[in-house]
Amino acid sequence: MTSEFVRLEVADGVGTIRLDRPKAMNAISIQVQDELRDAAAEATERADVRAVVVWGGERVFAAGNDVKEMSTMSYTDMVDRVDALQGAVNAVARIPKPVVAAVNGYALGGGCELALAADVRFAADNAVLGQPEVLLGITPGAGGTQRLPRLIGPSKAKDLLFTGRFVKADEALAIGLVDRVVPAADVYAEALAWAAKFATAAPYALRAIKETVDRGLEVDLETGLSIERQAFSGVFATEDRTTGMESFIENGPGKAIFGGR
């Protein structure tokens, strides 16, 4: 994939979606949104990508959506654009593989929303997260009002959304906004190591688990259990299910070599 600010780098079964707009602190412009969506689509389609890391580099994850660009947009401009803005983050959330955000530095506004789209978040000890849109007189528009309360609960989410205050790494860990805090120099390596665990895992089982959890959060328990039953039955059609169970019987747990079929 050829792009200016977002690229997909693949090695050993792990794809890294790398934001690289350093002069603008990885601000998520219209171009970045489009490139991010394309990178997510490529990560979804490529069979050699079994898990994904989203990373903005050593200094900053993403300081937010491009405010200078948005400041010139009218109501009708945003009506025409908002689906694509939200769709870029949704494309990352819908990658049917394990996704981890490796957060160095600032992850604010649209950057925080991008981190929220990952399945788990690893943060540097100097990371700062938040949804400060209200300080600009606007609301989050790429999932912040929906994914944040689902992750940390409505009260904590409203506190962050109402005040627009920034959250340092230790508080982010305490409230469940991030899942692990590590030294800044180690964030990407930690995220890569987590993602690498799935390079030889059963991809269709992982896909079913992710879809079942995500869809189940959107519905009542009984409907969620129905979704689970369908997914559970469905993986019995895979070769990996046979491989995994035969390996368990013969060699014990955790020794299966999956073919990804």
- Active-site annotation, residues: 113, 133
Rounded (10°) CA dihedral 221, 227, 230, 234? -130
Length of the chain: 261
- Nearest residue to 119 (alpha-carbon basis) of 151, 145, 142: 151
CA–CA distance, 110 with 148 (Å, rounded to integer): 12
Question: Amino acid identity, residue 208?
Answer: A
Taking the CB of residue 201, how many other CB atoms lie within 10 A of it?
19
Interatomic CA distance for residues 81 and 103, integer angstroms: 27
**Contact by Cβ (8 Å): 131, 166:** no
CB 205 within 8 A of CB 245: no
Which is nearest to 86 in space by CA: 56, 116, 53? 116
For 21, residues 6+ apart whose C-beta sits below 8 A from its C-beta are: 5, 27, 29, 32
CA 52, distance to chain mean position in Å, is 8
